[in-house]
Amino acid sequence: VGSLRDRIALVTGGGSGLGRATCELFARRGASVVSGDLDGSAAAETIRLLAGDSHLALEIDVTDEGSIDSALSTVLGRYGRIDILVNSAGLGEGRSDTLVKGTPHWQRIIDVNLTGTYLACRGAAARMRHSGGVILNISSIAGVIGLPRRTAYSASKAAVTMMTRVLASEWASMGVRVNAVAPGYIRTPMTDELAAQGRLNLDVVTRRTPAGTMGTPVDVAEALAFLASDQARFITGAVLPVDGGYMA
């Protein structure tokens, strides 16, 4: 079920959290995995964790079109094609009080979460147009429901959700499927850092999640693996919640 045998997958944000778990699961399902991250040594650490020598680490800045282009050229040069792109590079936002403090990291969050995802989608689709492929974006429950004090983050994720639908309808005829997952609260370095800064209360979000627990990166990776597989061949433009019922 859900084999990714011989698929070539590029995972941005592959050095940490959901991206790292996705690299690990996709490799176990048979894919050759390219872990791309702004933090090149974290990307390389992910690859060291994988069995087999068909994987690759790249330093990549998704906000820089030149960096994405050169990463995709490296992938094409080594493997001859790209079958799957997972856009997991992203920045979280603490609970900034929009009215009093504004949103200090507005532009950077939009640049990484939205523009970076768009640039990577475009670059990958241009290389998938003849052979087809799958693009998977990471939205968030924050892109669907209104959570206070996350203005920039939520706006970026709502835009990723809508962009996923638009690109799915635009690129379906060339055999490129575009889907997203909308994770709830998942225990990763991102949420750990927000909690350590006192900007996210893990007990509160756990209580508010109907499943009574935070998710794990593997929960999200499993959903991505299904959407990447041939079993999901008729699914495009979907935004799948992986949230323990938070939005139910």
- Binding-site ranges for ligand NAD (CB under 6 A): 12-13, 15-19, 37-39, 42, 60-63, 88-92, 112-113, 116, 138, 140, 183, 185-186, 188-191
DSSP-based three-state secondary structure for 61: coil
Closest contact distance (angstroms) between CB of 139 and ligand NAD is 7
User: Residue 6's closest CA among 22, 23, 25, 29?
Assistant: 29
For residue 39, the minimal CB distance to ligand NAD (Å) is 4
Residues with Cβ within 8 Å of 5's Cβ and at least 6 positions away in sequence, in order, are 29, 30, 31
DSSP strand E in the chain: where? 8-12, 32-37, 56-59, 84-87, 133-138, 176-183, 239-242
Helix axes 117-128, 65-79, angle to 10 degrees: 30
Q: Which is nearer to ligand NAD, 188 or 229 (CB)?
A: 188
Please report where in the chains the tokens 């638009």 appear, as a residue: 166
Cβ–Cβ < 8 Å for 108, 81: no
Minimum CB–partner distance for residue 6 and ligand NAD (Å):
26
What is the Cα–Cα distance from 149 to 153, expressed in whole angstroms? Answer: 9
Nearer to ligand NAD, 19 or 133 (CB): 19
Q: Between the CA of residue 218 and those of 25, 31, 75, 156, what are the distances in Å?
A: 8, 16, 25, 24
Q: Report the nearest approach of ligand NAD to the CB of residue 193 (Å).
A: 7
Shortest Å distance, C-beta 160 to ligand NAD:
8
Residue 166 or 247: the one with the smaller Cβ distance to ligand NAD is 247
Burial class (CB in 10 A: 0-12, 13-18, 19+), 226: middle
Which residue number, 54 or 206, has a Cβ lying nearer to ligand NAD? 206
Catalytic annotation on 79?
A: no
Active-site residue identified among 79, 153, 185, 246: 153
Q: CB-wise, 4 or 10, nearer to ligand NAD?
A: 10
Catalytic positions are 153
